Amino acid sequence: MKFNHIKLIRSLQLAYSAERAASFAYIGHARSLKDADEIEKIQEIERDEWSHRAEVLKIMNHYEIPVSTFFEIKYWLIGKFIGFSCLFLGRFMPFFFAGKLESGNVCEYFVMIHYFHSLGISDQDSVLFDMGVKEKEHEIYFMQKVQHEKWLPWFEKIFCWGVHKSGNDIHLESLYSIENAEKYCQDFKKKKKVN
């Protein structure tokens, strides 16, 4: 089944390629760490990203959406660069920027639900919901790793993510049901329309 929703097609293509970039970044991040528990957790998050990439590809294949060669090359380079950079950035910055990245990724999946609903399609709600929630769990983990760092208030002001700012409106302790998932990320969806 094909459809002609340019923003949704682009979002899926971007997510597919960006999940690999994130996986590469986490490989480098894990290599930069010394604590065994942190290494194990980052490797678990890396596996989640590979799993998300596979799920996004299933959706793309179902709707006959091609993989973007441009995004694949671009995000391969970005992921490798970030992964390599983690070896030199110290401890705080890889955790901080991973948290900021995951924070934004949450709404990417919920906005895809909005887009699918605009086409009258709800078959993908469950998998997209689960991936969005998993990205939120990642964000919370990274926040816990940096919340007491002295640099955080400065980085929060500059990069708009931290203890008081998030890139999404999801709260795991009061999570809406899948049926009400479209209530999430309304502001993010409006911003996407402008850009």
Domain parsing of the chain, residue ranges:
6-194
pLDDT at 2: 84
Name the class of domain 6-194.
mainly alpha
- The structure's pTM equals 0.89
Query: Rounded to an integer, what distance in angstroms lies between the CA atom of residue 185 and that of residue 167?
Result: 9
When pLDDT is cut at 50, 70 and 90, the band that residue 191 belongs to is: low
Say whether pLDDT at 192 is over 70.
Answer: no
Question: Across residues 151-175, what is the average pLDDT?
Answer: 89
Instruction: Answer whether residue 11 shows pLDDT above 90.
Output: yes
For residue range 45-72, what is the model confidence (pLDDT) as tens digits?
Answer: 999 999 999 999 999 999 999 999 999 9
Per-position DSSP letters for 83-137, written without gaps between them: HHHTTTSTTHHHHHHHHHHHHHHHHHHHHHHHHHHHTT--TTHHHHHHHHHHHHH
